Amino acid sequence: MTYVAVIPARGGSKGIKDKNLQLVDGASLLARAIKSAKSIPSISRVIVSTDSKNLMEEALLHDAEIHERRELTSSDSAKTIEVLKDIYCEMQLSNEICILLQPTSPLREVENIEACIDEYESNISVNSVVSVTECEHHPYKVVVQDVDGQMVPIRDISDLEAPRQLLPKALRINGAVYIVSFKNLIKNESFFCQPVRFVAMDEEESIDIDSHADLDRANLIIKGRTL
């Protein structure tokens, strides 16, 4: 199999200015994602898709290829799948497998990516592999509004009082790693092409950078690991 890592990195960010250039342990979010991908022998190409000249320079500094986004796929509302469609057409791809690595997951380890690759290769019927982490709050302990406007539990009223240990383990998508062939992704317009397998990551590895507080926490975690 031929794997191509794609790192989507728009220049605009509402929460943190130049978010993908912010530093964790002295390296930008973008650089950390590139370095992780390039350290895996089975990944043949590392492509950074961006609309930012500064991010292009950072990507080239770390020997990644550049996909320059068109205006239509550079907005806040642009879907990553549309970006990947452009990459597939514009960068002479065919039967490659896409490994999507969002730069906002700076504590994702190389071992996490390799575990997802191993899962993808472990069963011929697997079409997608997606990384997950345990939910901070169990989904059975919430209420939702039904079609009549009434607030009802997700499953059963007894779940709201049940000890967490008695409920089934619940994991959420953490956005760190997605693996799916370009052809399946484009055909289904989804990263979740059945059958899908999920690979668990630790909560700390799953931190997603959306605020300065997230950046501070990521740096504290890294500092704690090196002490």
Quote the CA–CA distance of 174 and 189 in Å, as a whole number. Answer: 20
CATH code 3.90.550.10 for 3-133+171-222:
yes
Task: Kindly tell me if the per-residue pLDDT of 75 is higher than 80.
Answer: no
Residue 9: beta bridge partners?
none
Quote the CA–CA distance of 171 and 176 in Å, as a whole number. Answer: 14
Task: Kindly tell me if the per-residue pLDDT of 99 is higher than 90.
Answer: yes
Amino acid letter, 177: V
The arithmetic mean of pLDDT across residues 50-60, rounded, is 96
The domain spans of the chain are: 3-133+171-222, 136-169
Please say whether the beta carbons of 4 and 93 come within 8 A.
yes
The 10s digit of each residue's pLDDT in 137-185 is 999 999 999 999 999 999 999 999 999 999 999 999 999 999 999 999 9
Higher pLDDT, 40 or 16: 40
The 10s digit of each residue's pLDDT in 193-220 is 999 999 999 999 999 999 999 999 999 9
Please say whether the beta carbons of 160 and 89 come within 8 A.
no
Coil, helix or strand at residue 46: strand
Confidence of residue 1 (pLDDT cuts 50, 70, 90): confident
Higher pLDDT, 15 or 122: 122
Confidence of residue 226 (pLDDT cuts 50, 70, 90): low
Q: What are the φ/ψ torsions at residue 172 (nearest 5 degrees)?
A: -115, 155
Quote the CA–CA distance of 49 and 74 in Å, as a whole number. Answer: 10
Task: Kindly tell me if the per-residue pLDDT of 227 is higher than 70.
Answer: no
